[in-house]
Structure 1
Amino acid sequence: MTDEELAKDLGLVSAMTIGIGTMIGAGIFVLPGVAAQAAGPIVVVSFVVGGLVAMVNALSVSELGTAMPKAGGGYYYVNRALGPLFGSIAGMGDWMGLAFASAFYSIGFGQYLATLAPMPSVLFLTDVQVGALFAGAAFVLVNYVGAKETGGVQTVIVTLLLGILTLFAVRGWLAFDAATLLGTDGVAPMGYGAILPGTALVFVSFLGYAKIATVAEELKNPGRNLPIAVIGSVAIVTVIYAVLVSIMLGVVPWTDLSTSAPLTQATEVAFAGEYGAIAVGIVTVGALLATASSANASILASARINFAMGRDGIVTDWLNDIHPKFATPYRSIVVTGAMILAFIALLGQDLEVLSKAASVLHLVVYALMNAALIVFRETDAPEYDPDFTVPLYPVTPILGVVLSLGLLAFVGLRELALSAVFVVGSVLWYVAYANRHTEGQGLLGRHVSAGTQGEESVATTPDADAGPTVMVALSNPRTEGPLMTLAGALAKAKGGTVFATHVVQVPDQTSLAAAAERRRGVMDESERLLAEAREDAERFDVPVETRTILSHQGVAEVFDAARDHEADTLIMGYGGTRLAGGRAEGTLDELAQSLPCDVLVLNERSFDPSEVLLPTAGGYSSDLSAEVARALRDAVGANVTLLYVADDRETGRAFLGEWAAEHDLDDAEIRVETGAVEPAIRRAAADRTLVVVGATEQGLLSRVVQGSLALSVLENLDASVLLAERPTSRSLRERLFR
Structure 2
Amino acid sequence: MSTGDEELAKDLGPLAALTIGVGTMIGAGIFVLPGNAIEQAGWFAVVSFLLGGGIALLTALSASELGTAMPRSGGAYFYVNRALGPLFGSIAGWANWLGLAFASAFYMVGFGEYIRVIFGLTGPLMVGPIALPAVKTIAFLGGALFVAVNYIGAKETGRLQNIIVILLVAILAVFTVVGALRADPANLPPSKGFGPMMTTTGLIFVSYLGFVQITSVAEEIQEPGKNLPRAVIGSVLLVSVIYALVLIVMAAAVEQGFIAEQQVAGNIAVVEVGRLILGPAGAIALLIGGLLATASSANASILASSRINFAMGRDRILTPTINEVHPRFGTPYRAIAITGALILGFIVAGNVELLATLGSVLHLVIYGLLNIALIVMREANVADYDPSFTVPLYPFTPILGALTSFALIAFINPTVVLICGGLVAAAIVWYLGYARTRTEAMGELSEFILSRSESMPDAAVSTAESVRPDGGRHRVMVPLANPQHEENLITLASAVAKHHGGIVDAVHIVTVPDQTSLEYAADHIGDHEEDYDALLDGAREHAEALGVDIETHTILSHRGFEEIFDAARSHEADTVVMGWGPDAHGSPGRAESAFGEMTTELPADFLVVKDRGFDPERVLVPTRGGAGSAYAADVASVLQEEYGSEITLLHVADSESTGEEFLTEWAEERGLSDATIRVESGDTKEEIVRAAEDASLVIIGASEQGLLVRLFRGSPAQQIVEEVDSSVILAEKSHGRSLLDRLLSR
Shift of 1:222: 2.1
Letter in 2 for 1:47: F
Question: Counterpart in 2 of 1:44?
Answer: 46
Letter in 1 for 2:370: M
Shift of 1:219: 2.4
Asked if 1:70 corresponds to 2:72, the answer is yes
- Give me the whole-angstrom Cα distance separating, in 2, the residues matched to 1:214 and 1:281: 34
Asked if 1:83 corresponds to 2:101, the answer is no
Question: Counterpart in 2 of 1:532?
Answer: none
Question: Counterpart in 2 of 1:461?
Answer: none
- Give me the whole-angstrom Cα distance separating, in 2, the residues matched to 1:286 and 1:75: 32
> Are the counterparts in 1 of residues 439 and 470 from structure 2 also a CA contact under 8 Å?
no
Query: Under a length normalisation based on structure 2, what TM-score does the superposition of the two structures give?
Result: 0.56
Asked if 1:163 corresponds to 2:170, the answer is yes
Question: Counterpart in 1 of 2:270?
Answer: 263
Shift of 1:155: 1.9
Post-superposition Cα deviations, 1:512-540, rounded to whole Å, max 9, x if no partner, equal: xxxxxxxxxxxxxxxxxxxxxxxxxxxxx
> Are the counterparts in 1 of residues 438 and 470 from structure 2 also a CA contact under 8 Å?
no
Question: Counterpart in 2 of 1:435?
Answer: 436
Letter in 2 for 1:409: A
Asked if 1:318 corresponds to 2:325, the answer is no
Once the two structures are superposed, the pairs formed by residues 294-333 of structure 1 within 5 Å of their partners are 294-324=297-327, 326-333=329-336
Post-superposition Cα deviations, 1:322-342, rounded to whole Å, max 9, x if no partner, equal: 345554333322222222122
3-state SS of the aligned residue for 2:174? helix
Shift of 1:120: 4.1
Question: Counterpart in 2 of 1:392?
Answer: 393
- Give me the whole-angstrom Cα distance separating, in 1, the residues matched to 2:138 and 2:270: 19
Letter in 1 for 2:72: K
Instruction: Compare 215-224 and 297-306 and name the one that shifted more.
Output: 215-224
Post-superposition Cα deviations, 1:125-167, rounded to whole Å, max 9, x if no partner, equal: 6432222222222222322344755433322221111111111
- Give me the whole-angstrom Cα distance separating, in 1, the residues matched to 2:405 and 2:7: 38
Shift of 1:45: 0.6
Alpha-carbon spacing, 1:411–1:6, altered in 2? closer, same or farther (3 Å): closer
- Give me the whole-angstrom Cα distance separating, in 1, the residues matched to 2:341 and 2:158: 27
Shift of 1:429: 0.8
> Are the counterparts in 2 of residues 41 and 254 from structure 1 also a CA contact under 8 Å?
no
Letter in 1 for 2:354: V
Letter in 2 for 1:233: S
- Give me the whole-angstrom Cα distance separating, in 2, the residues matched to 1:136 and 1:178: 41
Letter in 2 for 1:160: L
- Give me the whole-angstrom Cα distance separating, in 2, the residues matched to 1:52 and 1:5: 34
- Give me the whole-angstrom Cα distance separating, in 2, the residues matched to 1:53 and 1:441: 30
Question: Counterpart in 2 of 1:732?
Answer: none
> Are the counterparts in 1 of residues 259 and 269 from structure 2 also a CA contact under 8 Å?
no
> Are the counterparts in 1 of residues 149 and 156 from structure 2 also a CA contact under 8 Å?
no
Question: Counterpart in 2 of 1:288?
Answer: 291
Letter in 2 for 1:417: L
3-state SS of the aligned residue for 2:388? coil
Shift of 1:87: 0.4
Shift of 1:179: 3.0
Once the two structures are superposed, the pairs formed by residues 566-581 of structure 1 within 5 Å of their partners are none
Letter in 2 for 1:371: I
Question: Counterpart in 2 of 1:133?
Answer: 140
Alpha-carbon spacing, 1:315–1:361, altered in 2? closer, same or farther (3 Å): same
Shift of 1:216: 1.6
Once the two structures are superposed, the pairs formed by residues 346-495 of structure 1 within 5 Å of their partners are 346-348=349-351, 351-446=352-447
- Give me the whole-angstrom Cα distance separating, in 2, the residues matched to 1:428 and 1:5: 30
- CA root-mean-square deviation: 2.6
Question: Counterpart in 2 of 1:674?
Answer: none
- Give me the whole-angstrom Cα distance separating, in 2, the residues matched to 1:88 and 1:422: 11
From 214, 235, 239, give the equivalent of 1:237.
239
> Are the counterparts in 2 of residues 24 and 290 from structure 1 also a CA contact under 8 Å?
yes
From 191, 194, 201, give the equivalent of 2:196.
194
Asked if 1:152 corresponds to 2:154, the answer is no
- Give me the whole-angstrom Cα distance separating, in 1, the residues matched to 2:320 and 2:267: 40
Letter in 2 for 1:332: A
Alpha-carbon spacing, 1:280–1:15, altered in 2? closer, same or farther (3 Å): same
> Are the counterparts in 2 of residues 27 and 241 from structure 1 also a CA contact under 8 Å?
no
Alpha-carbon spacing, 1:163–1:263, altered in 2? closer, same or farther (3 Å): same
Shift of 1:80: 0.7
- Give me the whole-angstrom Cα distance separating, in 1, the residues matched to 2:386 and 2:278: 53
3-state SS of the aligned residue for 2:104? helix
- Give me the whole-angstrom Cα distance separating, in 2, the residues matched to 1:262 and 1:162: 18
- Give me the whole-angstrom Cα distance separating, in 1, the residues matched to 2:213 and 2:157: 11
Alpha-carbon spacing, 1:226–1:426, altered in 2? closer, same or farther (3 Å): same
Alpha-carbon spacing, 1:164–1:294, altered in 2? closer, same or farther (3 Å): same
3-state SS of the aligned residue for 1:439? coil
Instruction: Compare 116-125 and 224-233 and name the one that shifted more.
Output: 116-125
> Are the counterparts in 1 of residues 57 and 233 from structure 2 also a CA contact under 8 Å?
yes
Asked if 1:101 corresponds to 2:107, the answer is no
- Give me the whole-angstrom Cα distance separating, in 2, the residues matched to 1:217 and 1:347: 33
Aligned-pair identity (%): 52
> Are the counterparts in 1 of residues 27 and 297 from structure 2 also a CA contact under 8 Å?
yes
Shift of 1:302: 1.1
> Are the counterparts in 2 of residues 33 and 260 from structure 1 also a CA contact under 8 Å?
no
Shift of 1:408: 0.5
Shift of 1:264: 1.4
> Are the counterparts in 1 of residues 8 and 330 from structure 2 also a CA contact under 8 Å?
no
> Are the counterparts in 2 of residues 67 and 384 from structure 1 also a CA contact under 8 Å?
yes
Size of the aligned set, in residue pairs, is 439
Letter in 1 for 2:30: I
- Give me the whole-angstrom Cα distance separating, in 2, the residues matched to 1:163 and 1:92: 35
Higher-RCO chain (CA-CA 8 Å, sequence separation at least 6): 1
From 178, 181, 204, give the equivalent of 1:174.
181
> Are the counterparts in 1 of residues 82 and 444 from structure 2 also a CA contact under 8 Å?
yes
Shift of 1:220: 2.8
Alpha-carbon spacing, 1:114–1:363, altered in 2? closer, same or farther (3 Å): same
Alpha-carbon spacing, 1:356–1:6, altered in 2? closer, same or farther (3 Å): closer
Alpha-carbon spacing, 1:218–1:322, altered in 2? closer, same or farther (3 Å): closer
- Give me the whole-angstrom Cα distance separating, in 2, the residues matched to 1:137 and 1:393: 43
Letter in 1 for 2:169: L
- Give me the whole-angstrom Cα distance separating, in 2, the residues matched to 1:302 and 1:425: 19
- Give me the whole-angstrom Cα distance separating, in 2, the residues matched to 1:13 and 1:334: 26
Letter in 1 for 2:15: V
Letter in 2 for 1:178: P
- Give me the whole-angstrom Cα distance separating, in 2, the residues matched to 1:227 and 1:163: 24
Structure 2, unpaired ranges of 5+: 1-5, 452-467, 472-746
Shift of 1:193: 1.8
- Give me the whole-angstrom Cα distance separating, in 1, the residues matched to 2:285 and 2:427: 43
Post-superposition Cα deviations, 1:236-265, rounded to whole Å, max 9, x if no partner, equal: 111110111110122343323446522211
- Give me the whole-angstrom Cα distance separating, in 2, the residues matched to 1:142 and 1:8: 18
Asked if 1:114 corresponds to 2:116, the answer is yes
Question: Counterpart in 2 of 1:21?
Answer: 23
> Are the counterparts in 2 of residues 120 and 130 from structure 1 also a CA contact under 8 Å?
no
- Give me the whole-angstrom Cα distance separating, in 1, the residues matched to 2:259 and 2:16: 35
Shift of 1:320: 2.7
Alpha-carbon spacing, 1:328–1:438, altered in 2? closer, same or farther (3 Å): same
Query: Under a length normalisation based on structure 1, what TM-score does the superposition of the two structures give?
Result: 0.57
Alpha-carbon spacing, 1:164–1:36, altered in 2? closer, same or farther (3 Å): same
- Give me the whole-angstrom Cα distance separating, in 1, the residues matched to 2:422 and 2:275: 42
> Are the counterparts in 1 of residues 9 and 330 from structure 2 also a CA contact under 8 Å?
no
